[in-house]
Structure 1
Amino acid sequence: MIYVYHYNSPLGGITISSSGTAITGLWFDGQKYFGVTLPENCEEKELAVFDEAKRWLDIYFSGKEPDFTPPLLMQTTPFRKAVWEILLTIPYGQTMTYGGIADRIAKQKGLDKMSAQAVGGAVGHNAISLIIPCHRVVGTNGSLTGYAGGIEKKVQLLTLEKADMSACFVPKTGTAV
């Protein structure tokens, strides 16, 4: 059984899902790929893991870096999981490029090169947003592109974290991976 909980954030509603012991999804309501890992029948229920996620979100939205990560269950392909694990290493208030992640994946796999576009697809399909910080990924040229929650939310999240966005810009046509 998959359980869900609704959290009201300063940036809008968030739906969190859990297996009962770990977080399996976290989406801004209505974002691209919303609920892709949710089965048709979910049960709303109070769970200890939701309490941990709520505490994490409360700390995060207060403008502070949470000093813990709730238990996570990444239900995805091995490639996406490898990308998401790199996302978890991006420090609070900092960014990394799609190309930088591609270079790390290539090195892990013993390859000369990895497609930044393939990385972009994996980042865009992150089912546990915020906690797995896909909003911290930017284009090599500084473009704040590719956030499934929307470019406006990406800017708000990076601003909340006091990230240096002096070299970043919002593209003329917003994109979500």
Structure 2
Amino acid sequence: MEKALLQTPLGNLLIEGDENGLTSLSIISDEIKITHTSQKTLEDAIIQLQEYFEGKRKQFTIRLNPQGTNFQKKVWQKLLEIPFGTTISYQQLSNQLGDSKAIRAVANANSKNPLWIIIPCHRVIGSDGSLTGYAGGLWRKKWLLEHENPSLQQRLF
């Protein structure tokens, strides 16, 4: 497993993966030091994430290999279909997966997403438009949504 560290507006991003694909993204504290193996395998991920944060990339073409249950992987696959700059509700996501009553299971799978920027779980919001739940913190969810669609998230002050 290779690891790389990328400084982002959301914090220091630890990127992990191997030749089978990217397995996880996580924010780490400044105190943690990592030792790098060759970043060759992660080079595309680093470049694409930098482009995303610079506003130059709307879609990722990185090979993904998130670990989870079959249900979680089904939810994560559906998240990949949410277009850049748009949002859907947890209820809509549950409906798209074929079970309107599975909203809690869908929300739980969403919260377990190990590739939270690339598999865009931040694009799922409450039915009333609220920014409910986000494992990375609501301020990061808000930042990502504003980054992807600044015209919809205008501030008054």
Q: TM-score range by the shorter chain?
A: 0.7 to 0.9
| Matching residue of 2:54 | 62
Residue type at the aligned position of 2:36: E
Structure 2 unpaired stretches of 5+: none
Residue type at the aligned position of 2:141: K
Question: Aligned pair in 2 of structure 1 residues 165, 103: CA closer, same or farther (>3 Å)?
Answer: farther
Question: Aligned pair in 2 of structure 1 residues 5, 147: CA closer, same or farther (>3 Å)?
Answer: same
| Matching residue of 1:171 | none
Q: Which runs of 4+ in 1 moved over 4 A?
A: none
Matches within 5 A, 1:103-114: 103-106=95-98, 113-114=100-101
Structure 1 unpaired stretches of 5+: 31-41, 167-177
Helix, strand or coil: the match of 1:7? strand
Of 34, 46, 61, 2:38 maps to 46
Residue type at the aligned position of 1:58: Q
Question: Aligned pair in 2 of structure 1 residues 165, 66: CA closer, same or farther (>3 Å)?
Answer: closer
| Matching residue of 1:154 | 141
**What RMSD over aligned residues (CA atoms) do the two structures have, in Å?**
1.9
* Distance in 2 of aligned mates of 1:67 and 1:148: 22
Q: Does residue 117 of structure 2 align to residue 130 of structure 1?
A: yes
| Matching residue of 2:24 | 25
| Matching residue of 2:93 | 101
| Matching residue of 1:8 | 7
Q: Deviations for 1:120-175, whole angstroms, at most 9, x for unmatched residues?
A: 00000000110101111101111101111100011111111115348xxxxxxxxx
* Distance in 2 of aligned mates of 1:74 and 1:122: 12
| Matching residue of 2:106 | 119
* Distance in 2 of aligned mates of 1:78 and 1:5: 27
Note the C-alpha offset of 1:11.
Answer: 1.7
Equivalenced residue count is 149
